[in-house]
Structure 1
Amino acid sequence: MEYSSKLIIFIFQLTLIIFATSSSTAAAANNNSNLFREYIGAEFNGVKFSDLPINQNVDFHFILSFAIDYTTTTSTPTNGNFNVFWDTDNLTPSQVSAIKSRNPNVKVALSLGGDTAADGHPAYFNPTSVESWLPNAVASLTKIIQSYNLDGIDIDYEHFKSTPEVFAECIGRLVSTLKNNGVISFASIAPFDDEQVQSHYTALWRSYGRVIDYVNFQFYAYDEGISVEKFLGYFAEQSLNYGGGKVLVSFISDGSGGLGPRDGFFTACSRLKSEGNLHGIFVWSADDSLGLGFKYEKMSQSLLAISH
């Protein structure tokens, strides 16, 4: 009788352990995502949406690069009056509609800022004030987004002539307004590991992280040739900096920075996926991948599509 009671207790405890383990595994798996994102259009080399392989089992976001609040002829800031600076010959409103019509899993966003504006000048974030910049930005971006039938917005400012607090208020209120107006359905930010850049984006995150859906962290801005372990350490660090956010991993097509797709990137992704921490992958950029046959885009999407 005593032996039987001990056996029953043992079986009950074992059942609890198995249940807890399976629940934990399921919870981890639920943090994985099948989101794939790619920047396109910044280098004017003729790349088209239709050039890219699109796996129907992923959520695919094209990110047009870039819209900048500078004039189209000079590098003079225009205080929130955005203009299109991507390859408008090959990435047109009709082509946006066509790629979305053929692929129900595709959405298209635009990115703000980038590294440089006209003539290679830095694309500074340089508002006159929050109150003057915001209505201009809302109006000019709404016009572009609606004319191109876009779905979202990405923030990729890399140079600043404003305080982190002003940046946070301008961008946070811009994203909030565009969402509240039904102009966009998602938003992302694209920081990298630089003191000034991080100070601006973490200020934005602290005040308006609730309206930001994805963190496109530029892991390729780290030194070239880092190890898988170093990459995973950087991922953990940035996940803390943007606590609660969906931090996506990334590579640059030519492998010139960070952990390249030929050097362990997919090993790192598999590790994160096994831990339930693969929130998605993004690539800079389709322009550079055009001459490579999009080999690594195919591999990325295949990894994301399997039991995400």
Structure 2
Amino acid sequence: MVNSTFFGMRTISAHLKSHPSNLKHSNVKVALSLGGDSVGSGSAYFNPSSVDSWVSNAVSSLTHIIEQYGLDGIDIDYEHFKSDPETFAECIGKLITTLKQNGVISFASIAPFDDDQVQGHYLALWKSYGHVIDYVNFQFYAYDQGTTVSQFMNYFQTQSSNYNGGKVLASFSTDGSGGLSPENGFFTACGTLRSQQQLHGIFVWSADDSMSKGFRYEKQSQTLLASNHSIFTF
């Protein structure tokens, strides 16, 4: 993507054509994730030339993609920045606001993790536009491998305080990269959060790794959440 014109549309189109929206279950919502860690062999940077041009291009490109494929929302996952936090906040906040006002999306989420630069940008966004963000898909699996239940609970409370008033989701990875794993007590921690009425949903990374395991932990998450909360798999 260059200044929010999504030149990856051919790749996006090919993927979506192999997963047509008419196969969606009535209870499933599909989001398009923006950003990510890398493009090819390099980092994917958020680097707009101006707020107005970035928002205009992003609204146009995303509206086309979302309406063409019947998607429901967007997830903001920028992890590298060549802009200041205030510019990021204005670009993303105005994008989400405009797409919602135009009826293009029904929800928006953000996916920060515990890194000083990343948090600086996302907390600036939250401060100004938290009211238009539906979920905080916090990447708790970016913490050290071998995270304990008590450490996870402390991390969760810290981030819930940072994103005060937001629906912060518990998260784990199925690629063994880090954080509190299902084998080491993730669902025990979720049970505690549920008893405290703080379990707003579960965010799982990643679908590619989960597929080889038959989506075992996604199914366990669904059982835990029943029909009252959300599960996100990326």
Q: Answer whether TM exceeds 0.5 for this pair.
A: yes
1:113 is matched with 35
CA distance in 1, matches of 2:98, 2:227: 36
Percent identical residues: 66
Aligned pair 1:96/2:17, yes or no? Answer: no
CA distance in 2, matches of 1:307, 1:107: 14
1:255 is matched with 176
Change (3 A) 1:84 1:283: farther
Counterparts of 1:1-40 in structure 2 under 5 Å? none
Q: Which structure 1 segments of 5+ residues have no match?
A: 1-68, 70-77
User: Which of these residues, 108, 129, 134, is aligned with residue 213 of structure 1?
Assistant: 134
1:41 is matched with none
- State the 1:92 CA deviation: 2.1
User: Which of these residues, 137, 160, 178, is aligned with residue 99 of structure 2?
Assistant: 178
CA distance in 2, matches of 1:155, 1:85: 20
User: How far does the alpha carbon of each residue in 1:17-45 deviate from its partner, in whole angstroms, 9 at most, with x for none?
Assistant: xxxxxxxxxxxxxxxxxxxxxxxxxxxxx
CA distance in 1, matches of 2:189, 2:116: 25
Q: CA RMSD in A?
A: 1.6
Q: Secondary structure at the match of 1:302?
A: helix
CA distance in 1, matches of 2:78, 2:225: 28
CA distance in 2, matches of 1:197, 1:232: 21
Q: Which amino acid aligns with 1:176?
A: T
1:136 is matched with 57
- State the 1:85 CA deviation: 7.7
Q: Secondary structure at the match of 2:166?
A: coil
1:81 is matched with 5
- State the 1:277 CA deviation: 0.6
Q: Which amino acid aligns with 1:96?
A: P
Q: Which structure 2 segments of 5+ residues have no match?
A: 230-234
User: Which of these residues, 203, 218, 223, is aligned with residue 282 of structure 1?
Assistant: 203
1:34 is matched with none
CA distance in 2, matches of 1:293, 1:244: 35
Change (3 A) 1:211 1:306: closer
1:124 is matched with 45
User: How far does the alpha carbon of each residue in 1:209-241 deviate from its partner, in whole angstroms, 9 at most, with x for none?
Assistant: 000000000000000011100000000000000
Q: Secondary structure at the match of 2:183?
A: coil
Counterparts of 1:229-268 in structure 2 under 5 Å? 229-268=150-189
Counterparts of 1:196-211 in structure 2 under 5 Å? 196-211=117-132
Q: Secondary structure at the match of 1:292?
A: coil
Taking CA–CA contacts closer than 8 Å with sequence separation of 6 or more, which of the two structures ends up with the larger relative contact order? 1
CA distance in 1, matches of 2:10, 2:157: 34
Structure having the higher Rg: 1
Do the aligned residues in 2 keep the contact of 1:93 with 1:149 (CA within 8 Å)? no
Do the aligned residues in 2 keep the contact of 1:231 with 1:259 (CA within 8 Å)? yes
- Give the TM-score taking structure 1 as reference length: 0.71
Number of corresponding residues: 228
CA distance in 1, matches of 2:85, 2:104: 26
1:225 is matched with 146
Q: Secondary structure at the match of 2:29?
A: strand
Do the aligned residues in 2 keep the contact of 1:216 with 1:282 (CA within 8 Å)? yes
2:232 is matched with none
CA distance in 2, matches of 1:138, 1:156: 17
- State the 1:156 CA deviation: 0.2
Q: Secondary structure at the match of 1:223?
A: coil
